[in-house]
Copies of this chain bind each other. A is one copy, B any other.
Amino acid sequence: MESKNVRIKDIARLAGVSVGTVDRVIHNRGNVSPEALKKIMAVLNKTGYKPNLLARTLGSNKKFIIATLIPEPSLDEYWEQSNWGINEAREEWSHYNVDVRPYFFDLYDKNSFEKSAKMAMDDQPDAILSSPVFHQEALNFFQSFQNDSVPYVFFNNKIPEITPLCFIGQDFYQSGRLGAELLELISETPCTFVILHIYEDLHNSVHLAQKESGFMDYFSEMENKGIQTRSLEFCNHDEVTLEKDLLSLVSDPDIKGLFITTSKGTYLTASFLKKHNRQDIKLVGYDLLSGNIDHLKLGTIDFLIDQNPKKQAALGVNYLANYLIFKKGTPNEDLFPLEIITRQNLKTFLGSSIQSHLKSSAVLNNQSA
């Protein structure tokens, strides 16, 4: 019915050379005469040779080290979920030739990033997975060893100046448009919508800016239905200041909806609205943090857009591992579908995040589904 898979041995026989020479050609190791090369290439093309990845991995006992560099997960639920993803992939690959070594840094301390990055490099990793939340520091760091050709993959955050092997995350612009659409769908016009960036401090906000563009464009493109938009940044706020600022914001009776661009900001705002009994204001935010889940159930939050930090991180490791071991290419970027969470589908997302759908196998197929 189907021909047996062609092996290196078969190639060698057909080309009239030994397996060693074939191996040299396959791996571009040089020291092959032009004639031999030509013959082997011909056979290789004719037979459509595909190496047996199982055997390849088994045979080579080279160990690969993948360093991961993300914010300390114990301090932040979002990064905790990323870390789950890393650990999951780590576990998957642990039996083979891949050693995933996690490094963490303090989300509020640029120095700690540099320190952890240095420690990671001391391990001489073969690849790096990182979420470069500190723009300038990450820029310095990753540029410094670009010539070392240590491949790296970014997730969650981009650095515009640098092109990693792959970026894994969302289409932030479209994400902003989606937030706008969701608010519009559930609100009565005319009214004012506010896009609100609530973040700790210091971290680069390229992706927040993109969300904002999307949000704004959405409304400016449509025929005027009497929707006003405002943009605000609450940065470096303590809770008291945040509450004060939010109070003054929602005192505007035209405001019917808020779009919060950060996951932590989402539940902070939800708590505020709940406390002041302003559930009339619609709220769209990000991610399945426990606080967000609670407020979604309560109805304080109307929609969540899931960034799926766990899956992002796990996929990052898988891409790199496949790249190292099987020389599989990665896409330049892998932008996840924008998943909308409501009260009624929440449960189905929680269930599957435990036993999720990256089910195929990290080692052999990198390719879609």
Distance in angstroms between the alpha carbons of A18 and B319 in the assembled complex: 39
Contact B361 A365 (CB under 8 A): yes
Which residues of chain B have C-beta atoms less than 8 A from A302's C-beta?
A: 185
Asked if A226 lies at the interface with its beta carbon under 8 angstroms from chain B, I say no
Closest to A178 in B: B344
The 8 Å CB contact of A318, one of B337, B342, B361, is B361
Distance in angstroms between the alpha carbons of A53 and B92 in the assembled complex: 11
Distance from A213 Cβ to chain B, minimum over Cβ atoms (Å): 14
**Known contacts A54-B58, A345-B337; is-contact A359 B360 (Cβ 8 Å):** yes
Contact B96 A54 (CB under 8 A): yes
Asked if A311 lies at the interface with its beta carbon under 8 angstroms from chain B, I say yes
Contact A348 B171 (CB under 8 A): yes
Distance in angstroms between the alpha carbons of A348 and B96 in the assembled complex: 34
Distance from A257 Cβ to chain B, minimum over Cβ atoms (Å): 13
Contact B336 A340 (CB under 8 A): no
**Known contacts A58-B52, A355-B331, A361-B318; is-contact A88 B311 (Cβ 8 Å):** no
Would you list 16 pairs from A and B whose C-beta atoms are within 8 A, ordered by A residue? A50-B95, A92-B365, A92-B367, A181-B343, A182-B344, A185-B185, A218-B344, A311-B357, A314-B360, A335-B351, A337-B345, A339-B340, A340-B345, A359-B367, A359-B369, A361-B361
